[in-house]
């Protein structure tokens, strides 16, 4: 099944474009949720089917399944949130998007 990927505000637009080769990709900004808290974003994403939130926000590491709900979260770890650093994680990120489970946070590290 093709997943719906939502890139958090901290993810560069270029990474969202690259992910669009394998999945339908939206951004928090495009959904009208720019500047909202994580809780507001997560509540809004509950209505979307098979959604994966991609973020570098390490606060998600301690988010409870009850708070995440039906959303799958992929947390990227890299030297920075600059595209050049995040691209190193692209192969692992693509796999994680397809394996991510609702209500869970999956962590992905950049190769470098």
- pLDDT at position 3, please? 82
CA distances 53 to 47, 59, 112, Å, are: 13, 13, 23
Identify any residues that bridge with 53 across adjacent strands, giving them in sequence order: 6, 73
pLDDT tens digits along 47-102: 888 899 999 988 877 777 778 889 999 999 989 889 998 998 999 999 999 999 99
Burial of 49 from C-beta contacts in 10 A (0-12 / 13-18 / 19+)? exposed
Residue span of the structural domain in which 44 resides: 4-109
- pLDDT at position 112, please? 59
- pLDDT at position 6, please? 95
Spatial distance between the Cα atoms of 112 and 88, rounded to a whole number of angstroms: 7
Number of domains composing the chain = 1
């Amino acid at each position: 099944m093709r997943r719906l990927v939502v890139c958090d505000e901290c993810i560069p637009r270029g990474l969202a474009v690259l992910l669009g080769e394998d999945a339908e990709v939206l951004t928090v900004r495009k959904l009208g949720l720019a500047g909202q808290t994580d809780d507001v974003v997560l509540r809004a994403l509950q209505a979307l089917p098979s959604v994966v939130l991609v973020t570098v926000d390490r606060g998600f590491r301690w988010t409870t399944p009850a708070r995440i709900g039906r959303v799958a979260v992929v947390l990227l770890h890299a030297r920075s949130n600059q595209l050049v650093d995040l691209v190193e994680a692209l192969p692992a990120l693509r796999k994680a998007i397809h394996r991510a489970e609702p209500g869970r946070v999956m962590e992905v590290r950049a190769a470098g």
